[in-house]
Structure 1
């Protein structure tokens, strides 16, 4: 929810770092180089993937004079695009879901849902965190029933009585010990890749392959931010959590969160946190970092705008008295659920905590109204695409470019294989020959009804 810092003194020739030179010269079809930033942006379509790491005090109002077209409205309204996003993004990207502080004791578990994929994260008796799909290996009934959190010694399916340990291993399958060839070790709950970063945030990747894309590919260094070097994340404990639902596509909210161009118009509280004219947006790989300049009084009160957006659909706000994890959960092409985990610093007073927590609750409610209104008009069929400000809306443009790349890469893979690719789907063992033939038959039916973008 922020923008680049506005320079005090305009300069026509910003200073480029050595890395920028390398980035520019490595781009295909770019054979010449200029230090005139306005010239560079006349080739905007070729430059979308460039990370222009320009020092903020060299960024000027004379830069970025060419508007950039946003993604078309069909990407926000199409059911087919939503299904493609489930395959191309939410089945294979790393997703930040919570903080390990919420799973302090053996047996603690949390349940989550992402685009219909329901899964559980638990802490076992050895102190390890485990993630697995909430799907019994026998007949697919949900193993963990009721509520979104709890503490259990075992997970028991109430359909046929299969039970599983805290690490997801199969503990008991009634009457299956009488069958030859049944291997309990191969019938635990479907494992999900899990990582805890240096700050203690918990990430999952639903890709069922042994080797999903490396977390470091998009998030290397994100847990080593200079601005958070003095933060002790162990001081933050969950105070409350709440959810909202809205009739809009999840990307509407992602676009909204990643710019503060709308803030002076919509959020009267935000000037209390920081100077909206001195905010900054930095992008790199899979994350968008927002920061601000505070007055001495704001610093003393623990106020500011300090958030990081993690592609595709999560963000974290960290302030001295308050931390918030936001998850934008797609439910359908035009419906989303927003989940907010609110943490409080154990050393903060009620006044300091609620000043910020209550303010953010008002802000997210205001954003919800904006998103609903925008989605309604997208679906009316008039609006196709708008022109975004390359500086003030740099965050949404970065998000959209990364999303466009993820979608196109996956579509290319599906075209090459001639079928849909669902990375999170169970991988059958070599012995399941007949089952594979049945699956291939059904897949061939699906291919026959694909839209033009996936017409193989």
Structure 2
């Protein structure tokens, strides 16, 4: 009988056959964040998302609506729009044979159309993925059905609404960071509070012993308060001293940090000065792409600009430390000496992750143990 306080087996972090089944059962049915509405402010602006061999693109139409299309030509399957983002004012044109759609997905031009016997443009509408807009973000999922994004975020909607997320603008460009590890290594690491004082002196210096965590529904939440500690680095000390008051936030959120993970692979780091979005894109059993960008409210104060730079600097240090950690863990999973490990009862987010995967794949995990 499986122990509820035991990790997933090591092979679940590198077995390719199991990975494919996990993607179908766990990731494909989940909501994925494509972009913020302010990433595509103008007609024809677009942002792409490639995940599990699906090519998606969010495009703002002439009617002002943002639609999420499959970014694939209906003729020969060519990718239509290139890059992470861009603009195609007016129309979406295939670079291979020039089939062309309007921004609402209607096929409007086919060269040599008379040569296609029995051809009807209406049969070749650009297909849409299931999508919605929530908290100012454009979401899509590959397998329709399941809970709405509003229901999933319901336990924390009042908290998140205080940050005026719908009004935020991207701070810089979307970044893609490849990692030679299983996607769960990254997701597990972000949900692991026990390693903070050991592996992250900077982060530990920022929040001290205020780190907490909980699970409500499909959301894993972690938090801490920015406070004075003896572990301060110069970056954290300056960040604390320069971070200005944010008028629309109540006093208890002026120095408060929260991490919200929407199961299984979308997360937000929420600070008074900005929100960092992260998405863990599985590529293979041992390869993952971290997709991330920060969002901010317009604020020209010099103190705020400096605080945001320091926030970025602190996070880069933490990311470098995390990269070293997850590489060590991924390497260790292949050892014949390791099969599973114990989980503490306080590790509520990790325990919930393991439970969800076991429930999604009981046969696959039960057969091999």
Report the TM range for the smaller structure's normalisation.
0.7 to 0.9
* 8 Å CA contact 2:258, 2:271 repeated in 1: yes
Q: Per-residue deviation at 1:343?
A: 2.1
Per the alignment, residue 359 of structure 2 pairs with 405
Per the alignment, residue 248 of structure 2 pairs with none
- Pick one of 174, 177, 185 that aligns with 2:111: 174
Give the SS at the match of 1:69: coil
* 8 Å CA contact 2:186, 2:326 repeated in 1: yes
Does residue 1:357 correspond to 2:312, yes or no?
yes
Q: Distance in 2 between the 1:221 and 1:282 partners?
A: 15
* 8 Å CA contact 1:117, 1:133 repeated in 2: yes
Per the alignment, residue 72 of structure 1 pairs with 9
Q: Distance in 2 between the 1:222 and 1:237 partners?
A: 25
Q: Note the alpha carbon deviations across 1:312-346, whole angstroms, 9 max, x for none.
A: 11101121212110011111101111122122332
Per the alignment, residue 31 of structure 1 pairs with none
Q: Distance in 2 between the 1:93 and 1:167 partners?
A: 25
Q: Distance in 2 between the 1:128 and 1:177 partners?
A: 33
Does residue 1:141 correspond to 2:78, yes or no?
yes
* 8 Å CA contact 2:206, 2:227 repeated in 1: no
The TM-score with structure 2 as length reference comes to: 0.84
Hey, which of these two has a bigger chunk of strand by percent?
2
| Residues 95-106 of structure 1: pairs in structure 2 closer than 5 A | 95-106=32-43
Q: Per-residue deviation at 1:165?
A: 1.8
Q: Distance in 1 between the 2:131 and 2:219 partners?
A: 19
Per the alignment, residue 257 of structure 2 pairs with 305
Per the alignment, residue 171 of structure 2 pairs with 239
* 8 Å CA contact 1:218, 1:287 repeated in 2: no
* 8 Å CA contact 2:179, 2:288 repeated in 1: yes
Q: Distance in 1 between the 2:289 and 2:107 partners?
A: 32
The TM-score with structure 1 as length reference comes to: 0.69
What is the root-mean-square deviation in Å for CA atoms of aligned residues?
2.6
Cα 1:406–1:173 shift into 2, 3 Å: farther
Per the alignment, residue 279 of structure 1 pairs with 211
Does residue 1:186 correspond to 2:119, yes or no?
no
Cα 1:306–1:332 shift into 2, 3 Å: same
Give the SS at the match of 2:315: helix
Gaps of 5+ in 2: 229-239, 246-253
* 8 Å CA contact 1:218, 1:286 repeated in 2: no
Gaps of 5+ in 1: 1-42, 49-67, 413-451
Q: Distance in 2 between the 1:187 and 1:213 partners?
A: 28
Q: Distance in 2 between the 1:169 and 1:194 partners?
A: 18
Cα 1:242–1:303 shift into 2, 3 Å: farther
Q: Distance in 2 between the 1:186 and 1:390 partners?
A: 55
* 8 Å CA contact 2:137, 2:166 repeated in 1: no
Question: Number of residues paired by the alignment?
Answer: 342
Structure showing greater Rg: 1
- Pick one of 335, 346, 356 that aligns with 1:380: 335
Give the SS at the match of 1:371: helix
Give the SS at the match of 1:380: coil
